[in-house]
């Protein structure tokens, strides 16, 4: 069978059997943003890894080595943020093609150093090997969260409101601009969107606030809003209804989408790599959540609500007509 026949999530499902031999220490295994492991003391350990491959996650045609380092840290911290915890210690593995110079590899590490400093985490080790063609970089990251405070994908309940932080589609618009440098557009706009793609930021502060404010489920938007909603719905055994009019899409994203002849909502739903947080919250706590985020300078928007599983995933178009929400997101092995 070919990898493309199963897709990324089918492959992971197949691999995920018979891997736990110390069940007593596992609070949450495969299936969430990070593993959650039980320790003595007040905190659970969060453990996650994400790898970036040249040509798949970045291109050195337009990303600087420092930006690749920044992104590597951000995508991993984002998974810790989506559990409601904080990052602590990481190890970095490098597969280096010999065409890179020492200076470029040092620059990569300047990016890692800068981002690690910003999120307050240590890099305490790693591995360095030759890679025949492409630059490969992996971070494995430990974090902590107070026992009982981790937010899983599985906690959404019918009636909860669905929110998303910040705005969606910026990364996809930025990627489009990196690939089409000749597009005529205001340079300030282009710089903003490209930065969103090349130097994403993890919503660590928002994740901490949300895990302390009673949210029921949370995920970071790495594969696109639709894919993350599918994960929450599947893990929680619920459905969802989201309103087109409330999906936060920045005017700059709309501008690039118009020039590129794309539907900006497609970028929001399927573009991915925005690293915003999508979360659910019971209606009686929603006001408090909004106020706490606003007080910390974090934006959020209510985009819909959790409905019974039988109703599926529903997309309410501007004007009120409802259509099924296609959970089309980034799949590494999509045909």
Ligand X SMILES: Nc1ncnc2c1ncn2[C@@H]1O[C@H](COP(=O)(O)OP(=O)(O)O)[C@@H](O)[C@H]1O
Contacting positions for Mg ion (CB under 5 A): 50
Strand positions, DSSP E, the chain: 26-28, 35-38, 43-53, 86-96, 122-130, 136-146, 161-165, 217-220, 238-243, 277-281, 300-308, 313-316, 322-324
Report residue 170 as tokens: 């910026």
Residue 330 marked as a ligand binder: yes
Residue 186 marked as a ligand binder: no
Interaction of residue 50 with ligand X, rule CB under 6 A: yes
Interaction of residue 12 with ligand X, rule CB under 6 A: yes
Torsion, Cα of 313, 316, 317, 318 (10° steps): -160
Give, in order, the Cα–Cα distances in Å from 69 to each of 74, 115, 260, 296: 9, 8, 29, 27
Interaction of residue 16 with ligand TPP, rule CB under 6 A: no
**From the CB of 230, what's the least distance to ligand TPP, in Å?**
13
Q: In what order do the strands lie in the sheet with 277-281?
A: 217-220, 277-281, 161-165, 300-308, 238-243, 313-316, 322-324
**From the CB of 1, what's the least distance to ligand TPP, in Å?**
21
**From the CB of 5, what's the least distance to ligand X, in Å?**
17
**From the CB of 103, what's the least distance to Mg ion, in Å?**
30
**Among candidates 139, 85, 132, which has minimal Cα distance to 112?**
139
61 Cβ neighbours under 8 A, 6+ residues apart:
none
From ligand TPP, ligand X, Mg ion, none, interface partner of 175 (C-beta below 5 to 8 A by class) = ligand TPP
Residue 245 marked as a ligand binder: no
Site for ligand TPP in 39-78 (CB under 6 A): 50, 55-59, 75
Site for ligand TPP in 261-280 (CB under 6 A): 272-273
| Cβ closest to ligand TPP, residue 52 vs residue 300 | 52
Residue 149 has a CB neighbour count (10 Å cut-off) of 14
**From the CB of 202, what's the least distance to ligand TPP, in Å?**
11
Distance CA 76, CA 304 (A): 27
Site for ligand TPP in 191-250 (CB under 6 A): 222-223
Cα four-point dihedral sign 327, 82, 334, 2: negative
Distance CA 258, CA 79 (A): 32
Q: At what angle do helices 251-260 and 170-179 cross, to 10 degrees?
A: 40
| Cβ closest to Mg ion, residue 199 vs residue 223 | 223
**From the CB of 57, what's the least distance to ligand TPP, in Å?**
5
User: Phi, psi (5° rounding) for residue 18?
Assistant: 55, 45
Residue 222 marked as a ligand binder: yes
From Mg ion, ligand X, ligand TPP, none, interface partner of 12 (C-beta below 5 to 8 A by class) = ligand X
Residue 33 marked as a ligand binder: yes
- Binding annotation: 33, 48-50, 57, 79, 109, 126-127, 153, 220, 222-223, 273, 330
Residues that bind ligand X (CB under 6 A): 12, 15-16, 30-33, 50, 79, 222
- Binding annotation for ATP: 109, 126-127, 153, 222
- Binding annotation for substrate: 57, 273, 330
């Amino acid at each position: 069978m070919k990898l493309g026949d199963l897709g990324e999530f089918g492959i992971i499902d197949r691999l995920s059997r018979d891997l736990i031999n110390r069940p007593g220490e596992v609070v949450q295994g495969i299936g969430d943003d990070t593993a959650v492991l039980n320790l003595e003391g007040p905190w659970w350990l969060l453990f996650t890894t994400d790898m970036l491959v040249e040509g798949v996650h970045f291109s050195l045609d337009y990303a600087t080595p420092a930006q690749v380092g920044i992104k590597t840290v951000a995508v991993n911290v984002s998974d810790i943020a989506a559990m409601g915890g904080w990052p602590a210690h990481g190890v970095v593995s490098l597969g280096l093609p010999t065409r890179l110079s020492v200076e470029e590899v040092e620059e990569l590490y300047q990016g890692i150093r800068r981002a690690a400093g910003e999120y307050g985490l240590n890099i305490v080790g790693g591995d360095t090997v030759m890679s025949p063609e492409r630059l490969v970089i992996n971070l494995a990251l430990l974090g902590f969260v107070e026992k009982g405070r981790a937010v899983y994908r599985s906690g959404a309940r019918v009636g909860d409101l669905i929110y998303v932080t910040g705005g969606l589609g910026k990364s996809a618009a930025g990627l489009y601009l990196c690939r089409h440098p000749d597009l005529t557009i205001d340079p300030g706009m282009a710089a903003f969107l490209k930065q969103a793609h090349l130097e994403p930021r993890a919503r660590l502060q928002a994740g901490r606030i949300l895990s302390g404010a009673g949210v029921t489920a949370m995920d970071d938007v790495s594969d696109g809003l639709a894919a993350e909603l599918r994960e929450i719905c599947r893990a929680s055994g619920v459905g969802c209804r989201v309103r087109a009019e409330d999906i936060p899409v920045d005017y700059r994203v709309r501008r690039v989408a118009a020039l590129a002849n794309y539907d900006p909502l497609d970028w929001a739903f399927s573009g991915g790599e925005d690293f915003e947080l999508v979360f659910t919250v019971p209606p009686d706590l929603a006001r408090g959540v909004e106020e706490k985020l606003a007080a910390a300078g974090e934006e959020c928007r209510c985009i819909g609500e959790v409905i019974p599983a039988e109703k599926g995933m529903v997309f309410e178009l501007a004007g009120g007509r409802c259509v099924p929400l296609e959970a089309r997101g980034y799949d590494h092995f999509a045909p």
